[in-house]
C-alpha cells in the first residue's frame, strides 16, 4: 500500500476504532446499571410488572458477587466462580466442618442460588420455609441496607461489582415486594 493510500485510509480506520470502542463502553455501562422501578410503570398487568421488577433485580442476584455467597453444593465460590479459598466445605449440618465453621467469617446461613433459574430464586426468596423464616420486609431490608450485601458493590480491587447500586437494587426489591412479589416464569 502506498503512503498516499495509507494517509487516506488511516483517519477512517481511526474513526471506526473510536466508534467501536465508544459503543462497547456504552454497552458495558448500560449492562452495569439497573432500571428504576418507575421504568416498569408502563406494564399494565400487576403480576407481569412485579415479575419484571424481579427479573431486573435478578441482574444482581445472578451476579457472581451474590452467587458466590449463595452456593449450591458443598463448597462456595469466589471471584467469577472459582473455588473458595481457604478450601472450606459445607459439613454435615451445612454450616462448615468442625474446624472451620462458615460463621468464622460469614453470617449463620445463606440460601443456595447457584445454578437456579430466576423463577426458582424468586420462589425461595419469598418462602419463609426456605429463606430462614424471614418475611419479605426483612428480605427487603437485608438486600437494601445490609453491609454484607453492600460488599457486592465494593468487592475490592480486581473484582467486578454487581450492577447498579445497593440503593437501586433495594428499590427494585421493595417495589417487587410491594407489587405482590410475583415471580418470573423462567
Domain definitions of the chain by residue range: 32-178
Grid cell, residue 12, equals: 477512517
47 Cβ neighbours under 8 A, 6+ residues apart: 180, 182
pLDDT in tens, 71-118: 666 666 665 665 666 677 777 776 677 777 766 766 555 567 777 899
99 Cβ neighbours under 8 A, 6+ residues apart: none
The share of the chain scoring above pLDDT 70, in percent, equals 65
**Model's pTM, two decimal places?**
0.66
49 Cβ neighbours under 8 A, 6+ residues apart: 40, 41, 43, 179
Amino acid at each position: 500500500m502506498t503512503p498516499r493510500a495509507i494517509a487516506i485510509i488511516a483517519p477512517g480506520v481511526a474513526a471506526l476504532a473510536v466508534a467501536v470502542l465508544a459503543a462497547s463502553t456504552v454497552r458495558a455501562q448500560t449492562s452495569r446499571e439497573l432500571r428504576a422501578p418507575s421504568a416498569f410503570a408502563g406494564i399494565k398487568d400487576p403480576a407481569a410488572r412485579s415479575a419484571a421488577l424481579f427479573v431486573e433485580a435478578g441482574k444482581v442476584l445472578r451476579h457472581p458477587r451474590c452467587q458466590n455467597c449463595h452456593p449450591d453444593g458443598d463448597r462456595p465460590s469466589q471471584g467469577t466462580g472459582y473455588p473458595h479459598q481457604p478450601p472450606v466445605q459445607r459439613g454435615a449440618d451445612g454450616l462448615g466442618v468442625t474446624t472451620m465453621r462458615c460463621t468464622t467469617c460469614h453470617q449463620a446461613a445463606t440460601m443456595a442460588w447457584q445454578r437456579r433459574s430466576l423463577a426458582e430464586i424468586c420462589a425461595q426468596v419469598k418462602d419463609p420455609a426456605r429463606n430462614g423464616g424471614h418475611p419479605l420486609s426483612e428480605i427487603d431490608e437485608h438486600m437494601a441496607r445490609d453491609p454484607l450485601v453492600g460488599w457486592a458493590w465494593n468487592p475490592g480491587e480486581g473484582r467486578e461489582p454487581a450492577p447498579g447500586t445497593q440503593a437501586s437494587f433495594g428499590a427494585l426489591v421493595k417495589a417487587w415486594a410491594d407489587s405482590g412479589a410475583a415471580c418470573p416464569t423462567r
